[in-house]
Structure 1
Amino acid sequence: MHDVERGPAPAERSAVPLARDPGQTLRFADHWVPPTPVSGINVQCRLRHFAIVSYAVDPEPLRGLIPPRFRLDTVRIDGRDQALVSAVPFLNVDFGLAAYPSPTLEMAQVDYRAYVIDQHSGERAVWFLGTTLDSWTLPLPRYLWQQPWHPARTRFDCELEPGGQFYRHYRMHSASAWGSAELSLRQPVQQAPTYPGFADEETALFCLTHPLVGFYHRLRDRRLGAYRVWHDRLAVQPAELLSARFALFDRLGLVNYARQQFPHSVLVQPINDFTVYLPPTRLE
């Protein structure tokens, strides 16, 4: 039996940013949250070829997928409220226990998520539509913890320029009956990036890259589950989308294949460090 989450303690609530007002600017320095000490089976890992491909979508189809506890964190673009969803592919490397020496694993993963506000705490979060995982360890999150994770065969074909800052090419292919995906990017971009609906670049980067809690429907009992991560400010850089094909977004009626070629934003980072606080919690 896993612990039941009863919500963050008052001190934790004061540290998290509340729902964003239109036009509000957010600064990483104002909302920095220190890492919780690691213990037990908390995991430290590095995410290689980390990308966030985000789309602005009509909120209505998405609302039917999100429990009433949450509201969509929307932006206003061309006079219309839009929700944001993202696909986040990466190669999970050096995946091992954070508190103790342990063997490490490598596994390819693609997360599909929507940006939400937890109305119980006001905290910014992501709602996981699902995840694909290319690893023999899949039964642990899928069957023991009831996370909506699905099998896939995922390959990255990526090459950095000699300086290691930009990608000469970035290609990812994921074969999955639940949600196949293809992605091709290039850098550096020729024009300064724009982030429609956000007051400025730092606000956009904070909202898109820094939610530290994710929620989901457990597979078997459909109760809410949650798990937390911690990472410092990510050093993501903009990239140009050459092509994308995310079957899940098309199947859910959120972003069809034609519109997937026109993302809200694309961000990449060759490698970063994450702490994952496991096991996940089941909410009452």
Structure 2
Amino acid sequence: MDDAQPGLAGFLGTDRPRVRWFHAASDLRDFMITTFRVSPERLARHLPAGYVPEVVELAGGPAALVSAVAFRDESFHFRGLPRVAITCGQVNYRAYVRRDGVRGAWFLGTAFDHPTVVLPRRLWGMPWRRERIDLTATWDDGRASWALRTDEATCRASEAAAVPAGLDGFATERDWQALLTHPTVGWYRRGRAGRVGTYSIWHPPMAARHFVAAEARFPFLERLGLVQPGQEPHSLLGQELLPFDIHTPPRRVRGPVIATP
């Protein structure tokens, strides 16, 4: 297991699974997790039976959480194939859920700025779509800045002047690190048939920096009825570079078909 990084309050992440030839890898640059409070009942409408929202006790009452996770893929590639690497922007929209006691992320959708978006959509039924994504960030100044613009989403943020004492709804730094930055199992609606797919990832623990949003609009989440226009984020957690293993290919999960909300 990886050694704890400074400021992670003892959060050690998870053991790295054996790297296989059919796994993918990428360095995620200008990585940002923008999280919003949402109604557990509204989120539950987008989940199949057996998947339940992770509910946290916030200052304003119990809530579920969803995130827009934006980054630039650098040299995304499959380990067993010739080194044909992809570099492009990506935004994952995920919710934090449990299935049979296992905590993970439910992927509501993904925006991907590359023609190869058709491959995960057709091969594995993943809810990906093509979208132009522009990411800019500075990390070397005393206070970092970060900005995202896609065909429809806009988010601008600067690093907090001081590290907050904690995040609303979490007793310790270790708690929010585990939930918000380190879900290693993911599920998604697999194609129009509504079945469920699953895959896993690994990355070292984040050395997350705290940001404050000047603007944060994600119409995809608004159309799902989860986030209101102009809603203030619960938190923004960023890091300049984060290496990722993606344990492809995704697998099908036996279970009920997901009803369309």
**CA distance in 1 between partners of 2:171 and 2:225 (Å):** 28
**CA distance in 1 between partners of 2:35 and 2:238 (Å):** 12
Q: Which residue of 2 aligns with 1:219?
A: 191
Regions of 4+ moved over 6 Å? none
- TM-score normalized with structure 2 length: 0.89
Does structure 1 residue 264 correspond to structure 2 residue 247?
no
Q: CA deviation at 1:50?
A: 0.4
Q: CA deviation at 1:78?
A: 3.1
The aligned length equals 247
Q: Secondary structure at the match of 1:85?
A: strand
Q: Secondary structure at the match of 2:17?
A: coil
Does structure 1 residue 47 correspond to structure 2 residue 28?
yes
1:233 is aligned, of 205, 208, 213, to 205
The change in CA–CA distance for 1:138 and 1:193 in structure 2 (over 3 A counts) is farther
Q: Which residue of 2 aligns with 1:275?
A: 245
Q: Which residue of 2 aligns with 1:23?
A: none
8 Å contact kept, 1:229–1:275: yes
**CA distance in 2 between partners of 1:251 and 1:221 (Å):** 21
- TM-score normalized with structure 1 length: 0.82
1:190-213 Cα deviation digits (max 9, x unpaired) = 452531111112211121001101
1:115-134 Cα deviation digits (max 9, x unpaired) = 00112xx2210001100000
The one-letter amino acid of 1:197's match is G
Q: CA deviation at 1:103?
A: 2.2
The change in CA–CA distance for 1:139 and 1:193 in structure 2 (over 3 A counts) is farther
Q: CA deviation at 1:28?
A: 2.7
8 Å contact kept, 1:61–1:254: yes
8 Å contact kept, 1:189–1:240: no
**CA distance in 1 between partners of 2:60 and 2:140 (Å):** 40
2:218 is aligned, of 246, 249, 270, to 246
Q: Which residue of 2 aligns with 1:125?
A: 104
Q: Which residue of 2 aligns with 1:28?
A: 11
1:21-69 Cα deviation digits (max 9, x unpaired) = xxxxx9634xx43222222321111000100011111111111101121
Q: Which moved more, 1:206-215 or 1:95-104?
A: 95-104
1:95-141 Cα deviation digits (max 9, x unpaired) = 1223566221102100001100112xx22100011000001111110
**CA distance in 2 between partners of 1:246 and 1:38 (Å):** 34
**What is the percent sequence identity of the aligned residues?**
34
The one-letter amino acid of 1:229's match is I
The one-letter amino acid of 2:251's match is T
> Is there any run of 5+ residues in structure 2 with no aligned partner, and where?
1-8, 255-261
8 Å contact kept, 1:38–1:99: no
8 Å contact kept, 2:25–2:245: yes
2:94 is aligned, of 113, 127, 134, to 113
8 Å contact kept, 2:35–2:234: yes
Query: In angstroms, what is the RMSD of aligned CA positions?
Result: 1.9
Q: Secondary structure at the match of 2:220?
A: helix
Q: Which residue of 1 aligns with 2:55?
A: 74
